[in-house]
């Protein structure tokens, strides 16, 4: 019968390597406002100041970018925050019967 001792550990021949987890920053998402031909410019400025915390001058510049280039960047956020902002803006626009749409894209 072999010498077996259940309470005696044989750690002499065990190789242990420290694990270093590979961490990376989560991806960021751009929230964009899309142009349409029906939403008033004042409403777009209201959305940008209310939901994105932009000062009125910057909101006006982004609104003009949306109007002339078809889209404008509202901000860059983590995925959850970006999804929430898109949902809130689209819901708010729908409640006020405007076709203004907000979307997000991964950077």
pLDDT in tens, the chain (107 residues): 566 666 666 555 666 778 888 899 999 999 999 999 999 999 999 999 999 999 999 999 999 999 999 999 999 999 999 999 999 999 999 999 999 999 999 99
In this structure, is residue 4 part of a structural domain? no
The whole-angstrom separation of Cα 82 and Cα 44 is: 18
Q: Decide if 2 is inside a domain.
A: no
Give first-to-last CA distance, the chain, whole Å.
66
pLDDT confidence of residue 1: 54
- Considering the entire predicted model, what is its pTM? 0.78
**Number of folded domains that form the chain:** 1
Give the CATH number, domain containing residue 57: 3.30.1390.10
42, part of any domain:
yes
The pLDDT assigned to 97 comes to 97
43 to 4, 28, 60, 70, 89: CA distances (angstroms): 80, 27, 11, 16, 11
In a domain, 95, yes or no: yes
Domain boundaries, position 65: 29-106
């Amino acid at each position: 019968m072999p010498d077996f001792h259940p309470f005696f550990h044989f750690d002499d021949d065990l190789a242990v390597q420290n694990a270093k987890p590979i961490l990376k920053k989560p991806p960021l998402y751009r929230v964009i406002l899309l142009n349409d031909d029906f939403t008033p410019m004042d409403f777009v400025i209201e959305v940008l100041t209310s939901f994105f915390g932009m000062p009125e001058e910057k909101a006006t510049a982004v609104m003009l970018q949306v109007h002339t280039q078809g889209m404008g960047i509202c901000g860059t956020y983590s995925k959850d925050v970006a999804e929430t902002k898109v949902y809130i803006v689209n819901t708010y626009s729908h409640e006020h019967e405007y076709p203004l749409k907000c979307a997000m894209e991964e950077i």
